[in-house]
Amino acid sequence: MKILVPVKRVVDYNVKIRVKADGTGVETASVKFSMNPFDEIAVEEAVRLKEAGKATEVVVVSLGPSAAQETLRTALAMGADRAILVQTDAEVQPLAVAKVLKALVDKEQPRIALLGKQAIDDDCNQTGQMLAALLGWPQGTFASKVAVGDDALTVTREIDGGLETIELTLPAVVTADLRLNEPRYASLPNIMKAKKKPFETLTPGSLGVDVTPRLTTLKVVEPPRRKAGVKVADVAALVDKLKNDARVI
């Protein structure tokens, strides 16, 4: 069984975001980028399924600029078998990504598409659900546990009130939540080996997909700043402030 794992190159989660003065976006020049953390979890899960003998091949794919090669190499170093970069310098929104992924699914015929639940840059939380819809596949979003059977997947999902377990007929889309696993660090030998793994570069046009954005960003601004308040000396002073100044207790 083949698993397709899309990964996104995003501004590293430790970077302090700065909004551009002209309001067109955030500063991305000379900023550290890395793999979207939820996508790392998805790669890890797919590699574990292969190591457990449940999957035969893990194909990682990214849609983005040539620099996304690094992100794919990281996934290969974690244990993925093969990478596909669908190269574009254009802004890509979730619907366009889902369409590109659908085209790749049609080509590659995986039984599972395993994605991160959300990218930490646009915070959209859409791509997996959209891909499932375009394919007519069932979806198991926000997964904290995945068990693969012959014709079905069992997925435990993080929901607002706790957990829920569902069964999906295969093929299916799964999106990874935080507790699914702890991704490994790639070892140096594996990083070296990753350089020799198959790497294919395509374009959205070669897949016949129009990636024109549907939403226009009119402006990007900083959120209102919250001012630091005061330090209180002890618990008694805190209770006094909450009762008499803030009047919230």
Partner 1 sequence: MTSSNGAILVLADHDNATLKPATLNAVAAASRIGSDIHVLVAGKGARAVADTAAEVAGVTRVLLADAAEYEHRLPEPVAALVLSLVPAYGHVLAAATSEGKNVMPRVAALLDVAQISDITGIVSADTFERPVYAGNAIATVQSRDPVKIITVRATAFEAAAATGGAAAVESVAAAGGGGLSKLLGQELTKSERPELTQARVVVSGGRGMQSGENFTLLEALADKLGAAVGASRAAVDAGFVPNDYQVGQTGKIVAPELYIAVGISGAIQHLAGMKDSKVIVAINKDEEAPIFQVADYGLVADLFKAVPELVAAL
Is residue 79 a contact point for partner 1 (CB under 8 A)?
A: no
Applying CB under 8 A, which of residues 64, 79, 110, 140 lies at the interface with partner 1? 140
Cα 168 to chain centroid distance, Å, stands at 21
Is residue 101 a contact point for partner 1 (CB under 8 A)?
A: no
- Dihedral sign from CA coordinates of 35, 37, 39, 45: positive
Is residue 196 a contact point for partner 1 (CB under 8 A)?
A: no
Applying CB under 8 A, which of residues 91, 145, 178, 191 lies at the interface with partner 1? 178
Of the two residues 33 and 137, which places its CB atom closer to partner 1 in the complex? Answer: 137
Closest CA to 78 of 1, 193, 161: 193
Q: Which stretch binds partner 1 (CB under 8 A): 48-56, 61-69, 107-115, 151-159?
A: 151-159
Is residue 181 a contact point for partner 1 (CB under 8 A)?
A: no
Binding mask of the shown chain, residues 81 to 100, with x at each position contacting partner 1 by CB under 8 A: ------------xxx--x--
Applying CB under 8 A, which of residues 31, 67, 90, 163 lies at the interface with partner 1? 163
Is residue 139 a contact point for partner 1 (CB under 8 A)?
A: yes
Q: What are phi and psi of 238, to 5 degrees?
A: -65, -45
Q: What are phi and psi of 3, to 5 degrees?
A: -120, 130
Is residue 158 a contact point for partner 1 (CB under 8 A)?
A: yes
Q: How far apart are CA 51 and CA 5, in angstroms?
A: 16
Closest CA to 146 of 120, 113, 118, 123: 113
| Residue 194 C-beta: closest distance to partner 1, Å | 27
Q: Which residues contact 225 (CB under 8 A, 6 or more apart)?
A: none
Is residue 212 a contact point for partner 1 (CB under 8 A)?
A: no
| Residue 52 C-beta: closest distance to partner 1, Å | 21
Applying CB under 8 A, which of residues 30, 196, 235, 244 lies at the interface with partner 1? 235
Amino acid in position 25: G
CB 131 within 8 A of CB 113: yes
Is residue 111 a contact point for partner 1 (CB under 8 A)?
A: no
Q: Which two tokens stand for residue 31?
A: 């900023």
Q: What are phi and psi of 155, to 5 degrees?
A: -125, 125
Query: Scanning the structure block, which residue is given the tokens 């893990």?
Result: 58
Binding mask of the shown chain, residues 59 to 78, with x at each position contacting partner 1 by CB under 8 A: --------------------
Of the two residues 188 and 221, which places its CB atom closer to partner 1 in the complex? Answer: 221
Is residue 31 a contact point for partner 1 (CB under 8 A)?
A: no
| Residue 32 C-beta: closest distance to partner 1, Å | 14
Angle, CA of 124, 86 and 128, to the nearest 5° = 30
Query: Scanning the structure block, which residue is given the tokens 């993925």?
Result: 80
Q: Tell me the three state secondary structure of residue 58.
A: strand
Is residue 174 a contact point for partner 1 (CB under 8 A)?
A: no
